[in-house]
Amino acid sequence: MKILLILFLVSTIYAGDLKLASNIFEKIILAISHDTKTKIYIYTHIEAIEEYSEKFNLVNSCEDSDIVILSSVKNIPSRCSSKLLFGTRYKHLKNKKVIGAFFWQKGRPNVLFYRDRLEKNNIKLDSSFDKYIENE
Amino acid sequence: MFALLKTGKSLLLLVVLIPFLTIVSYVLYVHISKTKVDVFNIVQKYIISEKITLMKNFSDHLLKEHSTKEIYFLRDFKHSKHYENALRLVKSSKAEYIYVLYKDDKNVFRYLYDATEDDEEKAEYNQRFHPQTDIWSQAYLSGKVQIIDQSKLDGLWITIAYPIVLDGKTIAVIGADFTNNIYLSVVDTLSPIEQLSLYISIFMVIMLVLSYILFFMYFKTRKRGFIDPLTKAYNRQYLNTFLETNSLKNYHIMMLDLDHFKQVNDNFGHDIGDVVLKTTVEVIKNNVRSEDVLIRFGGEEFILLVYKKDIKTSITLANRIRDSIKSKSLHVDNNEITMTLSIGINPYPSHAKNIEEAIKIADEQLYIAKAQGRDRIEISDKNQSQTSKRISDVQDAIDNNRIRCAYQPIFDNNTLDLLKYEILIRMEDEDGSIVAPMEFLPYVKHTQVYINLTKFVLDNAMKVLEENTFKISVNIDLQDILNDDIVNLLKERFENKPELAKRLTLEILEHEGISDFKLIKSRLQVLKDLGFLIAIDDFGSGYANFRYLVDLDIDILKIDGSIIKNIDKDKSIHSIVHAIVSFSKSLGIKTVAEQVETKEELDTIIELGIDHTQGYYLGKPSFEFI
């Protein structure tokens, strides 16, 4: 009984976090591309997007995608290098090709873009994202 | 509710104990939950207080080490390792994050140091910090410690913002996030007790619900057990249960019996008989109120407990029921069945010793209604209670073998040899004294007890006849031969035993004048056909007169003892008896003189030609044969 109760609570809390994360991803992608049908490629595994895949236009290869969401920056396929890269760790931003990142730190959600990288890719975010844009 | 309470301890358990325990367990659960919150608040206060002290120590240490001029050391990356190590001393366990933030020139919060060891969680120097709340700004502005509940954030519990103040100006803020691991560790410690009490509460609630369901089902089943499956009226088992919780004082008792119902069964079959019974119940139910109780007492007999208002109302109700039954016709195979109802009412049931007696009184009235032609209503009066007690005593005597038969010899006057015995009934009281029949027989007339007594006497007569060669006389009331039950009883006992019937004389007593000689004659013929001899008892003392001798085919005439007494001295009596004897001889009727007590009386009746003699002079009643 107790185990079942805990499993239920954990699953609902977990599901709640994933949903929040998927919503944030949805807003960020829309802000970047201004297109609801932006093709997304996941490298390699982002649970919040996969779990709520119906919100996203996911594709199976980098070539077909507009934006690549990264769970890791190691060994990114070369065919992805021409695409817009978006990270999920603060450290992903060390890679100059990554335009921004959404990550959890100390229990808080963080969004960060670098201004020059956005400009370099001709990306204009709406003003609501201003507070998340930094000069490198 | 009283009805429920009377069902015993199990109900007390259900109504009082289980709900009480349920409430207690719930109160206990609430109390433990509150205690958990209290304990947690105490722990929280302690943790916060301890942390603030450590933060203060760190802040003091920091400010003490450096002068005002050196304030900008804080933003020197070279020192970060050193201060992060110092900051780790403030961090007491892995269950928290501790870091120092500063505001840059654009009022953006940035990490200065972060003592977090987990690489994924550790922020880098100068990394932008996105405040989710304004406690950081408030700490900066006020220079005072700020605390906020962070439980809405994933994995966090509370955050403390401790300002580092130098010369009245906040230069940085120490942040401490307590993760919910601490909260969970406290919860884990206290929750088993809370959960246990919760489970007990849930268990008790389930028990309570189950108990009520079972109780409901029990009563439903129990109620079904009290319903007559054919008519859907209550059955007689319900009566005692009903009276456990209801007083007879509040009711009038009616006994209702369908007249000639046996004929319906015989002529149309039991299926139609069942339809008649169901229809009867429907009709009765349509006429009574919800507070009245209808019970199928057996066969075609019903008891109606009428919630009383006054006798007149009950009589009106009885008449209404009787009329409704009479006006209800059933059509079966081109035949119309119309029933009538006889009703006996006891309006004083509480005067009786118990329900059985109260019913007997109503039954007696029913019996009278039946005897007087059926389709009638008879009502008992208050004196019926005394009668009822006597009835009860007689039934008690029957049940406890205290009814005995005495035998008085009757002699042949020609030879003075024993001719037969007359069976005389006696009742032995509880104290052993013998009670004469006139002290109890009048009370039980028209009741089932009287039938039971008759059965007893007939069984005894049969036994005596089977075991001996002499003849036997038994007394029977003239009204009895109009009673189907008694005639059927005689048939049942003697129909197949004509040899025994021939040796049995039925001495008919008469307490009321005969209104229908034709009916009596036909009934006597039935008895004579069975082989019985018919005697008229106590001739000359009551209603019996010479017309009896003419109109009824009798065998024996017993001249009453009041006439025989002093027959040897009183010439007028002598003349009357002479006339009776002469008339009887002319009709071939044998004569018996009763209560002969002296030799002179015996000599006179022999001289008058009376055939037989009975009396103390020749033989007293005895429980033994001569």
CA distance B156 to chain A (A): 6
How much is the mean pLDDT over chain B? 86
For residue B257, the 8-state DSSP code is E
Distance of CA B456 to the CA centre of its chain: 34
Q: Are residues B86 and B198 in the same domain?
A: yes
> A107 and B179 in contact (C-beta within 8 Å)?
yes
User: What pLDDT is stored for residue A90 in this prediction?
Assistant: 92
Distance of CA B592 to the CA centre of its chain: 57
Q: Which domain holds residue A73?
A: 2-134
Residue B315 maps to a domain: yes
CB contact under 8 A, A105 and B199: no
Q: Are residues B206 and B254 in the same domain?
A: no
Q: Are residues B305 and B196 in the same domain?
A: no
**Looking at the partner chain, which of B154, B179, B199 has a beta carbon nearest the beta carbon of A104?**
B154
User: What pLDDT is stored for residue A8 in this prediction?
Assistant: 39
Chain A residues within 8 Å of chain B (Cβ atoms):
1-2, 17, 89-90, 104-108, 110-112, 131-132, 134
Specify the number of domains making up chain A.
1
Give the CATH number for residue B344. 3.30.70.270
Cis omega before residue A44 (within 30°)?
A: yes
Ranges in chain B, pLDDT < 50: 1-6
CA distance B86 to chain A (A): 20
Q: Are residues B192 and B294 in the same domain?
A: no
Q: Are residues B184 and B119 in the same domain?
A: yes
Average pLDDT of span A82-91: 92
Amino acid identity for residue B68 in this structure: T
Instruction: Work out how many CB contacts closer than 8 A connect A with B.
Output: 35
Interface test with B, best of A13, A14, A24, A105 (most B CBs within 10 A): A105
CB contact under 8 A, A107 and B150: yes
Specify the number of domains making up chain B.
3
Q: Which residue of B has its CA nearest to A17?
A: B154
- C-alpha R_g of chain B: 52
**Looking at the partner chain, which of B99, B127, B154 has a beta carbon nearest the beta carbon of A17?**
B154
CA distance A110 to chain B (A): 7
User: What pLDDT is stored for residue B151 in this prediction?
Assistant: 76
User: What pLDDT is stored for residue B244 in this prediction?
Assistant: 81
Task: Please state the φ and ψ torsions of residue B162, each to the nearest 5 degrees.
Answer: -110, 115
Residue B626 maps to a domain: no
Sheet arrangement for strand B146-149: B109-114, B96-103, B169-179, B156-166, B146-149
All residues at 6 or more sequence positions from B510 whose CB lies less than 8 Å from its CB, including other chains:
B477, B478, B536, B537, B538, B542, B543, B544
Q: Which residue of A has its CA nearest to B178?
A: A106
The pLDDT tens digits for B289-306 are: 989 999 999 899 999 999
**If you search the block for the tokens 């990550």, which residue do you land on?**
A103
User: What pLDDT is stored for residue A7 in this prediction?
Assistant: 35
Residue B39 maps to a domain: yes
Q: Are residues B410 and B368 in the same domain?
A: no
User: What pLDDT is stored for residue B515 in this prediction?
Assistant: 65
Q: Are residues B405 and B459 in the same domain?
A: yes
User: What pLDDT is stored for residue B11 in this prediction?
Assistant: 67
Give the CATH number for residue B188. 3.30.450.20
CA distance B120 to chain A (A): 7
CB contact under 8 A, B123 and A89: no
User: What pLDDT is stored for residue B252 in this prediction?
Assistant: 92
Residues written for chain B: 626
Q: Given a cut of 90, is residue A81 above it in pLDDT?
A: no
Q: Are residues B377 and B397 in the same domain?
A: no
User: What pLDDT is stored for residue B520 in this prediction?
Assistant: 84
CA distance B154 to chain A (A): 5
CB contact under 8 A, A134 and B132: no
The pLDDT tens digits for A102-127 are: 998 888 889 999 999 999 999 999 88
Task: Please state the φ and ψ torsions of residue B309, each to the nearest 5 degrees.
Answer: -120, -70
Distances (CA, A) of B503 to B409, B470, B547, B625: 14, 7, 26, 16
Residue B360 maps to a domain: yes
Q: Which domain holds residue B263?
A: 234-382
Q: Are residues B184 and B269 in the same domain?
A: no
User: What pLDDT is stored for residue B384 in this prediction?
Assistant: 61
CA distance A21 to chain B (A): 11
Give the CATH number for residue B427. 3.20.20.450
Nearest to residue B146, comparing CAs of B129, B131, B160, B132? B160
Contact residues, chain B, for A106 at CB < 8 Å: 97, 99, 116, 121, 123, 156, 177
Q: Are residues B323 and B366 in the same domain?
A: yes
CA distance A13 to chain B (A): 9
**Looking at the partner chain, which of B97, B99, B124 has a beta carbon nearest the beta carbon of A90?**
B124
- Which residue stretches of B479-612 are H helix? 484-494, 498-502, 517-529, 546-551, 561-564, 571-587, 599-608
CB contact under 8 A, B156 and A105: no
Residue B624 maps to a domain: no
Rounded to whole angstroms, the Cα distance separating A118 from B463 reads 128
Distances (CA, A) of B236 to B168, B228, B246, B351: 98, 9, 15, 21
Q: Are residues B355 and B398 in the same domain?
A: no
Rounded to whole angstroms, the Cα distance separating B181 from B517 reads 111
Q: Are residues B108 and B162 in the same domain?
A: yes
Contact residues, chain B, for A108 at CB < 8 Å: 130, 132, 153, 156
Contact residues, chain B, for A112 at CB < 8 Å: 128
**Looking at the partner chain, which of A2, A89, A110 has a beta carbon nearest the beta carbon of B130?**
A110
Q: For residue A29, what are the β-bridge partners? A: none
User: What pLDDT is stored for residue A10 in this prediction?
Assistant: 38
Give the CATH number for residue A72. 3.40.50
User: What pLDDT is stored for residue A9 in this prediction?
Assistant: 38
Q: How confident is the model at residue A99 (pLDDT cuts 50, 70, 90)?
A: very high
| pTM greater than 0.90 | no
